[in-house]
Amino acid sequence: MSDKRRADRAKQARRDVRRAKRRTAGTSTDTELTDAIRSALAGGHPLNLLSMASMVIHVGKPDRRRDETHLDNILTGLIGVRNRETTALLAVTAELLVDDPAQQLRCRREVAERGEHLPRWITALPQVDVYRAVRRTHVFRDVDEVVIGMRLDRGHELTVAIRIDHNMLSTVTDAAAVPEPIDEALAKVAETSTDTDIFEMTLADARVWTEDALNMPTLSPKTDEWPLYRALVRWLVGRLPEGGEHRSPPGDWKSGKELCDGFFATSSAAPFTGSSHRELLLELFETGTGDPLRWSAARVEQAIGGTPHSEYSIPLEVALDAPDLLRAFIPYAHAQSGIRDELTARTLAMVESLRTSYKREVLRHAKYWGLDDVV
């Protein structure tokens, strides 16, 4: 759901918030800040000011750390500029401060005291109409994108997409927002997307999936867009109904064991005769998404691209077979899940590219821990 406008909006929002920060240090940029907010309001769509408010919160609380002093200083700078533009920004910021009741109340009191006439969509934010949610997912199931459509006051449409990476502990790694209806946003993405499925979700399920992902630790690098939309996403989640179902695990031990039985009965598994090979394969199933039937290049890189973490009960000579075992198993698994040959070939190319470095790392790791004689 990304395009050049998203990147430009992120850069502009960061510049605008930096102006507010500089003001708290004594550098007067009142006119610049006012002009930036006025431009956001004049843009016609609420997303411009929502993005700016979301960035204010991100700068005040980077990485979800509760630095009350930092946020307090930024809000003090905004409160010190008494005009309609900063009143509008404070009002929207207050709406998005869902995890900080004290600062939220402070902003709301300041807005009420000023008595400014604000655009109706701002005062109507608590009544936003969230009307549809879908899940976009690639056939590898590495990533789910929860896409939510909403309607603000006066018919302003907004679509927000939240990227959940299951190779990264099912955490949120990115988000995007576009000022258009969800049907149009999905249609545009479909023009350039392949091997992607779309599933309707209940709004309650969209909430619990997103909440679960937001509560997981973030292990992946930040994107430019995620800070811009994090507070907006947290606010949006709170507008969704509760009571949804959590994401189901991709498989269980019993189904994995049955898949192993089927694979080791084929000629492709002939070189791997030891019971430890079965144990190794079951261990590999636990990498990435945990789905034994779907292997992307990204998952393979995670499984054999770094420091090996094999159980010590697996003999060294068997651990060294992991790339070859995957190279034999992945076509079998993809045949079961219907993944086309071209995608399988890309995955196998990753296996081959990591084969030598993996073996070298396993041997280095074994020597370090004195496991050369593991049998």
Confidence band for 9, pLDDT divided at 50, 70 and 90: low
* For range 24-34, the mean pLDDT: 63
Confidence band for 196, pLDDT divided at 50, 70 and 90: very high
List beta partners, residue 159. Answer: 149, 178
Dihedral angle over CA of 109, 110, 113, 116, nearest 10: -120
Structure confidence by residue, pLDDT tens digits, 232-282: 999 999 999 999 999 988 766 678 899 999 999 999 999 998 889 999 999
- Count H helices and E strands in the chain, helices first: 16, 5
Helices marked H in 25-171: 30-42, 47-60, 68-79, 84-96, 101-114, 120-123
Q: Considering the entire predicted model, what is its pTM?
A: 0.85
Q: Could you give the percent of the chain with pLDDT greater than 70?
A: 84
Structure confidence by residue, pLDDT tens digits, 41-97: 888 899 999 999 999 998 887 655 555 578 898 999 999 999 999 999 999 999 999
> 286: closest CA among 181, 169, 126, 199?
169
CA 30 to chain centroid: 35
Confidence band for 374, pLDDT divided at 50, 70 and 90: very low
- Identify the pLDDT of residue 209: 97
Structure confidence by residue, pLDDT tens digits, 200-222: 999 999 999 999 999 987 665 55
Structure confidence by residue, pLDDT tens digits, 316-372: 899 999 999 999 999 999 999 999 999 999 999 999 999 999 999 999 887 765 555
CA 301 to chain centroid: 19
Residue 32 CB: number of other CB atoms within 10 A? 15
Amino acid identity of residue 39, one-letter, is: S
Structure confidence by residue, pLDDT tens digits, 90-147: 999 999 999 899 999 999 999 999 999 999 999 999 999 999 999 999 999 999 999 9
Structure token pair of residue 190: 């479909």
- Identify the pLDDT of residue 26: 46
SS3 label, residue 17 = helix
